[in-house]
Structure 1
Amino acid sequence: MSPTQLPLFCLPFAGSGAGFYRAWSAVPPGLKVVPLQLPGREELFLEDPFTDASKAASVLAPQILELVGEEAPFALFGHSLGAVLAYELARELSGRSGLRHLFVSGSPGPGHGRAQRATGLDDEEFLARVGEFADYRHAAFDDPDLRELLLPLLRADVAMHEDYVPVPGPPLTLPVTSLRGADDRLVSRAQAEEWRTTTRASFTYRELPGGHMYLVDSPETLLTAVTGALHDGVTTPAGSDRGGPQCG
């Protein structure tokens, strides 16, 4: 990796893979998007998917260190389920890496699960509930053959997310930015701001245009916000809210 580019390791949302991030273009100068692939999808389709977020972090952390080394700076980004995975990775890597910033997107703070669940529903109800949660439905699930192929992975990801309970531990000591689509009907502003309790360092809350899956339609806006946060510390744009150092 170029020493002038800061790697941003990206964790996928439920049912998606590294290909979602690989398709991103127009990445701002100085930033390198590095998708992390999870088992059970795309080129790792034959591998069993993760079922526990903290165990997933223990597997993924060495992969990151192998790519960047022990001291080289990098940042983490994750959306929805990916936010939980990125947070667990930050905890796993805390104090023994060059991790500079954690970006969590479209997710309540890690101590709060959903009141409504999709796990355990039959296929049609499950897909309807997931679509209701995200206000988004991928066209692949309208194809019977593709749905049969992809549904087990989506179920595994959703169950991992819905069953996630963080193990108690000290707060992080790096900046955390919580991002949310301004029209997100799944995650409220108050829920997105719960992340402030996860760090002793600076916390920033940012709203971007769109709903829960805002990053599907406007990755450029997201990447610009990420780059701004990395360059400007805790500087926030008009309409966002900045929190100072917090202890959890």
Structure 2
Amino acid sequence: MSAQPPILACLPFAGSGAGFFREWEKLGIPDVTLLPVQLPGREERFLDDPFTEVADAVAELTPRILADAGDRADLVLFGHSLGAVLAYEIARELERIGHPGPRHLFVSGSPGPHDGRTERATGLADEEFIAGVQRFAGYRHAAFDDPELVEVLLPILRSDVEMHENYRPTGTEPLSVPITALRGEQDELVSREQAEQWAGVTSGPFAYRELPGGHMYLVDDPERLLRLTAASTR
């Protein structure tokens, strides 16, 4: 095992960006080297067109992650909700190209990849769309209370939601990477049964872990989450 801590590449949930995970770096958790992954259309990539297809995201983000990680094999992937889907498909792509990583895949706040969402927000008028996304996400984004920020956020959020709602897995062959499915204990959007569906997509070890909180538990206590990921990859 490498003397260095593994690199934890973090894939954002819908409407979010790398800045969310950059705040985690300030916690200074030992045995965790964070690699916040930026999606186009936000923060320093504001001028780039956002993805609307998971396949396009995977094609761009996989080589970007490898370049930023320095092609290290001790790469760990983490994603929440939409990010879980992206992390899973990136893990599939890494196995397809013969990369020795990732060492571990953490999928958070998400049913298994073969359980598509039946209720959709794509195509709804703005107010209905925002209400639907709040219901799906289980929390209200602060930007929704500022008309100017809503104008900036809505196109990104619409693209992310479309990407998530249109997602279909690229294959059914199980991964070999160990998978840990994470869920907030009070998550009313993703049940334990749905989270445990991830056990069926790997031939490697599988674990299910609950943390205090609801669907967005990672907003309230990122330190607990990071310590769990560090302990699981030692």
Q: TM-score, with normalisation over the residues of structure 2? A: 0.94
8 Å CA contact 1:131, 1:137 repeated in 2? yes
For 1:21, the equivalent position in structure 2 comes to 21
| Deviation (angstroms), 1:228 | 1.6
Whole-angstrom CA distance in 1 between matches of 2:179 and 2:51: 25
Is 2:139 the counterpart of 1:140?
no
Q: Secondary structure at the match of 2:102?
A: strand
Is 2:178 the counterpart of 1:175?
yes
Could you tell which deviates more after superposition, 217-226 or 13-22? 217-226
For 1:150, the equivalent position in structure 2 comes to 153
Whole-angstrom CA distance in 2 between matches of 1:27 and 1:91: 30
8 Å CA contact 2:89, 2:170 repeated in 1? no
For 2:50, the equivalent position in structure 1 comes to 49
Whole-angstrom CA distance in 2 between matches of 1:168 and 1:22: 32
Cα deviation 1:5-34 (Å, max 9, x = unaligned): 211000000000000000113242121111
8 Å CA contact 2:77, 2:87 repeated in 1? yes
| Deviation (angstroms), 1:58 | 1.5
For 1:164, the equivalent position in structure 2 comes to 167
For 2:109, the equivalent position in structure 1 comes to 106
For 2:35, the equivalent position in structure 1 comes to 34
Residue-pair matches, total:
230
Whole-angstrom CA distance in 2 between matches of 1:126 and 1:113: 18
Out of 217, 226, 229, the position equivalent to 1:226 is: 229
Structure 1 unaligned blocks of 5 or more: 232-248
Cα deviation 1:188-236 (Å, max 9, x = unaligned): 11110110111000010101000000001110111111112112xxxxx
Out of 182, 187, 192, the position equivalent to 2:190 is: 187
| One-letter identity of the residue aligned with 2:36 | P
Q: Which has the higher contact order (CA 8 A, sep 6+)?
A: 2
Whole-angstrom CA distance in 1 between matches of 2:5 and 2:159: 34
Q: TM-score, with normalisation over the residues of structure 1? A: 0.89
Identity within the alignment, %: 61
Q: Secondary structure at the match of 1:187?
A: coil
Whole-angstrom CA distance in 2 between matches of 1:188 and 1:48: 33
Alignment RMSD (CA, Å): 1.4
For 1:72, the equivalent position in structure 2 comes to 73
8 Å CA contact 1:27, 1:33 repeated in 2? no
Whole-angstrom CA distance in 2 between matches of 1:38 and 1:227: 24
Whole-angstrom CA distance in 2 between matches of 1:160 and 1:167: 14
